[in-house]
Structure 1
Amino acid sequence: MKLALLMIVKDEEANVGRAIESVKDIVDEIVVVDTGSVDQTPDIAEKLGANVHHFKWTGDYSAARNACLEKAGADWVLWLDADEMISKTDHAKIKELINQDDVDGYYLIQRNYCHGLGRDDWTKAEGEYPDMELSHAGFTQNPALRLFRRVKGIKWEGSVRENVEPDDTSTRWVTTAAEVVCHHYGYAGAPAGLIEKRKMHIDLAREKAGAKKKDPQSWFELGTMLFEAGEWEECIKPFTRAFKLDSNYLEAMYYVAMSYFELGKMQEAWDALEKLLKREPSHAGGFVVLAGIERLHENFDDALAFYDKAIAARPDLFSAWYNKATLLLTLDKADEASECFEKTLALMPDFMPAMFGQWQNNIFNARFDRANDEMLKWLKSFPELKENLIEAVKAFISQEKYDLVSKAFGPLIEVIDNAESYMAYGTAQLAQGNVDEAEESLIKAIKRDGSLNDARLNLAQIQEIYRNDPGAALALYEIVLQYDPENEFCLKKVSELGNEQG
């Protein structure tokens, strides 16, 4: 059996070559339809042996895919997007699959590499495909019909999230799942590009749902896209419609409950959960939302009980472990919280809120060595954590937790290397009488940001009180007044020291 690789592309010069190269050894022809590239995409594809055809983009993915399908002559089709690849590990499986006489199509495992970002369907990358996983921490997965026989009348339908099947219902069309992974990198791209792509897909999904008003799947897909975009209010109607059209779409009620929860409408969330749990009494995600509602009402024991129910139903449910950890942290149950944070990070190693939560749990319970060792390790891979630490040290200073700042930030302050953090740390050292350390840190703060008057004011106090150098103190007070001419304390000090100097 001969196999064709089919693709539609536009401005994919950074990706198209890798996609083609990943399967070039097992395909007999390569057909690429370009929908309006202005970069080198068509040239790259042609150099790799592709037959490139041009198609005017109409906003309809199925139309473009069908135009591509018409150009193929092979018995079987493998469909890839430009930001996807197949590992050579699975080449032999594909060759075996297309020689099966009793199957016409295969759902491959589409593995979407992405940051965890708190998703319950996220899975940690464990090195199963080292050539494909690269530096990605994990992925989500879904079935995708990407390998199929080119039977008579086969075509795609739907402008987005398209379906492929023969137009004649009497044509045999047997599909099944296959243990072949299609590695997708589109969700790991720059946020701006993802937002633009998501907006386009939502618009197309609206058109599809409008054209198929009685199709629950179309409404569910629209709701899912809106939910993923954070459009909580807007996604409720399509999810509700999907459930009304077909009550088997139970997951729609879960998303409705989640959306109402995000909107702060707890009674509506509870009502949606009742519909869900009546039909599926052990829905783990539903228990997590119930726990969140109880937590907002300060029914903490009930909230913990619901988190435990969620974990019993699904031991790998990230959101249950993380939310339970944060609740235990607020309840000052250090050991239990630590176990939950550890489990959270085992499930989602790149989830920075869990790292910060574990650090807080450790410092609040005087486990400073462990807190510092872990945070220094995390900062090497996740420098964004510095922003959390900066806000934390500022908050602790405002609460006059000087000893906590000294112990929690001593080993971290040079790594954070931030003006406000140096000022806060210097303030804590001064409050504890550690004048040399305070002076060193405050000088670093001013060198990085000369507008930090509080740091300069503390330095002036050090010169006046501890160094017995009124001249140096006077000079610093005068600079403070350049930034804050109405500062009464400095005006008084300048007058006093000026008279003494005079």
Structure 2
Amino acid sequence: MSKPSISLCMIVKNEERFLARCLKSVQGLVEEIIIVDTGSTDNTKEIAECFGAKIYTFEWVNDFSKARNEAIKYAQSDYVLVLDADEYLESADQILLLLESLEKDIYFLSIKSFLRGGISTIHPVIRLFRNVPELKFFGRIHEQIIIPADSLFTQDHLEVMINHDGYMKDVITEKNKEQRNLKILLEDLEEQETGFGLFNLGIQYKMMGQYEQAIKTFEKAFPLSMEYSYICKLITSLIQCYMELEQFDKALVICHESIEAYPNYTDLYYLQGQIYESLHYINDASESFNHCLKIGVCKEP
């Protein structure tokens, strides 16, 4: 039985700085490259052509999910792989993906985002999925694959890491991402206020350094988000905002309460260790960090 085929589906605009690196990292992994361009004025299209990409034009309407779904509708392969231009695979992860038999319908891959100050975060997201009409993106920004509640789709987590440096400060400033994202998020919440929308708005305020506003938004999102997979990310983001404001007592209380509810979520112990370290409780910090190493990277979405 032959290995299932994969289509790489991307949306781009003025990505000449990163696109070649991304496309090189999937050479030999995908059968076709689908590029939906939303208005590039640089050499993005020419770079894509050099890799044999099928290029389509789509008018930008402040809705990432519409652009994503436009890209995947052209896919002809068994599976769809979704990457952004500022993402790429290392050689070891290319090999892991090549060796995977792909029997499930939906796969979570790990995204490693490089942040300022040498910090990076890792979180699981759906980036590889069977090419069927039922699997499509939802959300004007921070779009995600929506899995029907009565779905029989099978899922798994692959040991594949996608590197992402689009959150580096110089990249965000260059693309004016902050103001663009904030505008879309506020417009989206005007139409319908949801926990996920408030969570994403809080993340945006946090990235912009508006920590007090972020805290208010996260706390508003919390009761609307308890049953969703992003709740732990919401909690850790709230803790980080209190830490940035040096309100360590509040941050520590949230850590303790959250660890009781989510005892296997590694990031909570790491943040707890950072707080103890800031308060000069070195033994407690060491215990927290050692517990992180014991648990390892959390793979639950």
Partner of 2:193: 213
Shift of 1:164: 1.0
Going from structure 1 to structure 2, the CA distance change for 1:313 and 1:89 (only over 3 Å counts) comes to: closer
Q: In structure 1, what is the Cα distance between the partners aligned to 2:17 and 2:31? A: 24
Query: Shift of residue 176 of structure 1?
Result: 1.8
Q: Is the Cα contact below 8 Å between 2:108 and 2:157 reproduced in 1?
A: yes
| RMSD after superposition | 3.0
Aligned to 1:186: 166
Equivalent residue for 1:107? 108
Q: Does 1:82 align with 2:85?
A: yes
For residue 165 of structure 1, the aligned residue among 146, 158, 163 is: 146
Give 2:97's match in structure 1, choosing from 91, 94, 99.
Answer: 94
Using a 3 Å threshold, how does the CA distance of structure 1 residues 49 and 229 change in structure 2: closer, same or farther? Answer: same
Contact 1:112 1:185 in 2 (8 A): yes
Instruction: Tell me how far 1:262 sits from its aligned partner.
Output: 4.8
Q: Cα offset for 1:277? A: 2.2
Aligned with 2:212: secondary structure?
Answer: helix
1:198 to 178, 181, 192: 178
Name the CA distance, whole Å, in 2 between partners of 1:49 and 1:244.
48
The equivalent of 1:239 in structure 2 is: 218
1:11 to 10, 14, 21: 14
Letter of the 2:283 counterpart: D
Is the 2:215–2:241 Cα contact (8 Å) retained in structure 1?
yes
Aligned-partner Cα distance in 2 for 1:192–1:162: 18
Match of residue 308 from structure 1: 283
Indicate conservation of the 8 Å contact 1:32/1:68, yes or no: yes
Greater fraction of residues in helix: 1
- Compared CA separation, residues 172 and 38, structure 1 to 2 (3 A): same
Whole-Å separation in 1 of the counterparts to 2:138 and 2:42: 29
Which residue pairs with 1:148 in the alignment?
129
C-alpha deviation, 1:72, in angstroms:
1.1
Aligned residue for 1:151, secondary structure, equals coil
User: Are 1:4 and 1:28, in contact at CA under 8 Å, matched by a contact in 2?
Assistant: yes
* Aligned partner (choices 25, 30, 45) of residue 27 of structure 1: 30
What are the within-5 Å matches in structure 2 for residues 308-347 of structure 1?
308-315=283-290
Question: Is the CA contact 1:30–1:49 (under 8 Å) kept in the aligned structure 2?
Answer: yes
Which of 230, 233, 238 is the aligned partner of 2:209?
A: 230
Normalised by the size of structure 2, how large is the TM-score?
Answer: 0.79
- Looking at structure 2, the residues matched to 86 and 175 of structure 1 have their Cα atoms a distance apart, in angstroms, of 21
Q: Alpha carbons of 1:151 and 1:258: their partners in 2 closer, same or farther (altered >3 Å)?
A: closer
TM-score relative to the length of structure 1:
0.50
TM-superposition CA deviations, 1:107-140 (whole Å, max 9, x none): 11222234435xxxx3xxxxxxxxxxxxxxxx43
- Conserved 8 A contact 2:243-2:275: yes
Distance 1:17 1:254 in 2: 34
User: Which structure carries more relative contact order (alpha carbon 8 Å, separation 6+)?
Assistant: 2
Query: How many pairs align?
Result: 279
Shift of 1:250: 6.2
Residue 176 of structure 1 corresponds to 156
State how far apart, in whole Å, the 1-side matches of 2:92 and 2:106 are: 20
Q: Which has the higher strand share?
A: 2
Assess if the C-alpha contact under 8 Å between 2:11 and 2:68 holds in 1.
yes
What is the percentage of aligned positions where both structures have the same residue?
29
Kept in 2, the 8 Å contact 1:159–1:204? The answer is: yes
1:92 is displaced (CA, Å) by 3.8
Once residues 51 and 137 of structure 2 are traced to their aligned partners in structure 1, the CA distance between those partners, rounded to angstroms, is: 26
1:289: how far off? Answer: 4.3
Higher-Rg member (1/2): 1
Change (3 A) 1:199 1:89: same
2:44 aligned residue (41, 45, 48): 41
Match of 2:299 in 1: none
Q: CA deviation at 1:24?
A: 2.4
In the other structure, the counterpart of 2:298 is: none
Give the corresponding residue for 2:295: none
Q: Distance in 2 between matches of 1:199 and 1:52?
A: 28
